[in-house]
A = this chain, B = another copy of it.
């Protein structure tokens, strides 16, 4: 009998394929068209993504992924697209409580007679928490997984954003007048320093500095903030060249243009996120390129406030990384990135007279992988690739307005709405499932926002 054992083992080894157990992961999303936005622009017709420990562990055809991986949670994405979550490159989230407060006014009237008085009277930490929650609710339901913020009490924004399960590059505002959170320059700089130290290294939150603009901070203060950013290795978020009035002011004060001014005082660098960049000339675009500055293009805000049309086709030609931002909900008036994508694709066609510029694919890239580049996070987010963070969304493609389907990029840009977003996953966590938010008490958030409306209206009547 003993002599048979080796022979039996040999037969077994030949006939039974090597046992390779399916790899254990946390979550598999399968059955949708996977739009990876990777460098090869890979599309998988019936594809799947495996997620482990907040990261993408596998991507491929549904058959392959279901063979190679096993997970306790499986989400069916049939009839939809699986794609990277959207990146909102410029926002003032808490201003959601001011949305529609005073539209169709000249910028200075709007700011001086409505927004600044309202902020002075009402913005405190509790306000910022309530407004951030409302904004996170809207963003999550619309498929935004990462946003860049610039406001006051940014530690509160960070706490609420992390609690909502979204990813944020959250910039503490610094400005040369008393702000709702800090009344002096030294206090704001110290507060910002503490904020950066506390949040560095968080899985979802990248703390940042947000000096308001070249015309609202002295060169010395802009430089002091730059040193702070460099000390902590964090992004430097700033409004630049938003309006013709700003260009005029900078010209009068410094005999140059905003981007050149920032270059001269040593601000430009590969950690800078420059918001708007509407009035940049060709030489300035070359400076942005040279220093690796990212641009947050905000087409709808720039239209509504009549700021102008940013030279985006030129930026794309120079391969300057351009992301898309909504700007704050007080000036847009929503946080719907799908409308920004659609508008970006259309606005530059009419502005240049060329219907081939800013293609659907380029517009979608601005809200995903190019947006990630613009906010200096492309190593981590913006595309579906193995090893990147599992920030992805399932977008239904079967609504009447998306039927029939010829080209998935075209539909994602020109016909898809926020309401088509079904499921949202950030860092591997399901934040929205079948249009239901899992991380916030939506009814409570809306109720609180309505209570603030009463207070804000009453305060402005006084």
Question: What residues of chain A have their CB less than 8 Å away from a CB belonging to chain B?
Answer: 96-97, 99-107, 110, 134, 137-138, 141-142, 300, 302-309, 332-336, 339, 342-343, 345-347, 349-350, 352-356, 359-360, 398, 400-401, 403-407, 410-411, 414-415, 417-419, 442, 445-446, 449-450, 452-453, 456-457
Contacts and interface: CB of A to CB of B under 8 A. Distances in A.
A403 B101 CA distance: 11
A355 B417 contact: no
Q: Which 4 A-B pairs have the closest CB atoms?
A: A404-B453, A419-B419, A303-B346, A100-B410
A263 to B, nearest CB: 27
Given A102-B406, A103-B360, 9 more contacts: A104-B360, A134-B400, A304-B346, A305-B355, A308-B353, A398-B446, A403-B449, A404-B449, A404-B450
Contacts of A398: 446
B101 A306 contact: no
Nearest to A100: B410
Given A107-B355, A349-B303, A355-B104, A334 B415 contact: yes
A121 B354 CA distance: 29
A23 to B, nearest CB: 36
B446 A403 contact: yes
Nearest to A110: B355
A434 to B, nearest CB: 15
A407 B349 contact: no
Given A352-B306, A401-B336, A417-B418, A407 B107 contact: no
A350 B453 contact: no
Given A104-B355, A306-B352, A417-B419, A410 B333 contact: yes
Contact of A302 (B350, B354, B356, B414): B350
A405 B134 CA distance: 13
Contacts of A417: 336, 417-419
Contacts of A97: 404
Contact of A404 (B99, B346, B356, B403): B99
B106 A355 contact: yes
Given A339-B342, A355-B107, A401-B335, A453 B137 contact: no
Contacts of A96: 403
A346 B304 CA distance: 5
Contacts of A134: 400, 403
Contact of A304 (B102, B103, B355, B407): B355
Contacts of A342: 339
